[in-house]
Copies of this chain bind each other. A is one copy, B any other.
Amino acid sequence: MARRAIGSASILSRNLRPSKGTTGFPDERSITEHLRRIAVIPPSSQVVVGIGDDCAVYRPEGSAEDLLFTTDLFIEGVHFLPETHSAADIARKALARGLSDIAAMGGAARICLVSLCVPRWSDDEWLRLFFAELVSDASRAGAVLAGGDLSHADTLACDIVVCGGVPQGRSFLRSGARPGDQIWVSGTLGGSAMGLETGQGAAWERHLNPQPRLALASHLQFGESRPTAAIDISDGLSLDLHRLCSASGVAAEITDPPQFPGATLAQALHGGEEYELMFTMPPGHSLPFQFQGLPLTPIGIIQEGPPGRILHNGRLVEPLGYDHFRN
């Protein structure tokens, strides 16, 4: 049961924030919304997209490429336990979170940085294995590990920064979905949550080895028909689709998503850490049902309706995916 202490899927406790105060941040989104209101982007800024999407978008003067910025925390006791995750597992998963954000925006990875709080329980060999995996995975994704920061600490905390490139103005945003668009997902879902539950077999392998969908992102970016919106499934299909629909001001109706062998429907609908892509295609722009062996599945349709409302087989779905700050 130790694995259930890890807060990385919807099935786990969310009662983790004891002191909410009285000024009103019931969940992560309310904090993000507050930040978006106060972090005003001046008209002269080269920041094209600020807080609220998978990445921020920066437009360097004179360049044909926009730059994508994302940072992702990976923390002992929250996202993993050292008893179940090796140094290489931690490096791989921490980086995958950032790479997946770049894929969600339709970008290619260019550069990454790592800030690492080195805990008392680690040693030099652990550090070597961590950095070896990080450098190798970054390189395989097309990125260079170019900097970071180090500190000692009681527990491990890792923050990965990834910067990616995307043709100017061609980022896949969460906000572009329109009624009539078809909703697609890559891969099969629920395996990571199932692995977290069972700690064994193919599902546990899936939990430890997320595959950021950079190749698919590039295919969608430069292919014949481009998505109108996209997001990666990091906190669960229900919550991430809710976020995409909220950002787009639309509702959605879905059928059963493709399930990882053995995973329950609830795990497929709400389980986090999938790092698959969910994207919307404009009417009349279909796709093959696989890309390089990876299943691509249409799971529903974007509709007019209350922004963020998700119907699953006709019934309302609560966005139950993982939120660090929800009651």
- Interfacial chain B residues near A151, Cβ < 8 Å: 73, 75, 78-79, 324
**Judging by beta carbons under 8 Å apart, are B153 and A75 in contact?**
yes
**Judging by beta carbons under 8 Å apart, are B159 and A39 in contact?**
no
Given A39-B145, A62-B62, A111 contacting B69 (CB threshold 8 A): yes
A124 CB to nearest B CB, Å: 4
Segment from A15-23, A278-286, A305-313 that makes contact with B = A15-23
**Judging by beta carbons under 8 Å apart, are B125 and A51 in contact?**
no
A310 CB to nearest B CB, Å: 23
**Judging by beta carbons under 8 Å apart, are A117 and B47 in contact?**
no
Q: Which of A23, A39, A75 has the most CB of B within 10 A?
A: A39
- Interfacial chain B residues near A155, Cβ < 8 Å: 154-155
Q: Any chain B CB within 8 A of the CB of A204?
A: no
Q: Any chain B CB within 8 A of the CB of A150?
A: yes
Segment from A24-32, A169-177, A242-250, A265-273 that makes contact with B = A24-32
Complex Cα distance A62/B324, Å?
A: 40
**Judging by beta carbons under 8 Å apart, are A17 and B73 in contact?**
no
Given A38-B131, A144-B42, A163 contacting B125 (CB threshold 8 A): no
| A133-167 interface bits toward B, Cβ cutoff 8 Å, 1 = contact, 0 = none | 00100110000111111111111010101010100
Complex Cα distance A159/B55, Å?
A: 16
**Judging by beta carbons under 8 Å apart, are B71 and A149 in contact?**
yes
Complex Cα distance A70/B50, Å?
A: 19
- Interfacial chain B residues near A58, Cβ < 8 Å: 110-111, 146, 163
**Chain A positions 50-97 with a Cβ under 8 Å from a chain B Cβ:** 50-51, 55-56, 58, 60-65, 67, 69-73, 75, 77-79
**Judging by beta carbons under 8 Å apart, are A39 and B144 in contact?**
yes
| A34-51 interface bits toward B, Cβ cutoff 8 Å, 1 = contact, 0 = none | 110011111001110111
**Judging by beta carbons under 8 Å apart, are A124 and B73 in contact?**
no
- Interfacial chain B residues near A64, Cβ < 8 Å: 61-62
Given A58-B110, A324-B151, A71 contacting B159 (CB threshold 8 A): yes
**Judging by beta carbons under 8 Å apart, are A72 and B154 in contact?**
no
Given A62-B63, A146-B58, A325-B118, A124 contacting B23 (CB threshold 8 A): yes
Complex Cα distance A154/B153, Å?
A: 12
3 nearest CB pairs, A to B = A21-B123, A21-B124, A56-B146
Binding site for B on A (CB under 8 A): 7, 16-25, 28, 31-32, 34-35, 38-42, 45-47, 49-51, 55-56, 58, 60-65, 67, 69-73, 75, 77-79, 110-111, 113-115, 117-118, 120-128, 131-132, 135, 138-139, 144-155, 157, 159, 161, 163, 165, 324-325
A–B pairs, 29, beta carbons within 8 Å:
A17-B120, A19-B121, A19-B122, A21-B123, A21-B126, A23-B123, A23-B125, A35-B145, A38-B135, A39-B144, A45-B144, A47-B144, A47-B146, A50-B144, A51-B146, A51-B147, A55-B147, A58-B111, A60-B67, A62-B63, A73-B159, A75-B151, A78-B152, A78-B153, A115-B115, A118-B325, A152-B325, A153-B157, A155-B155
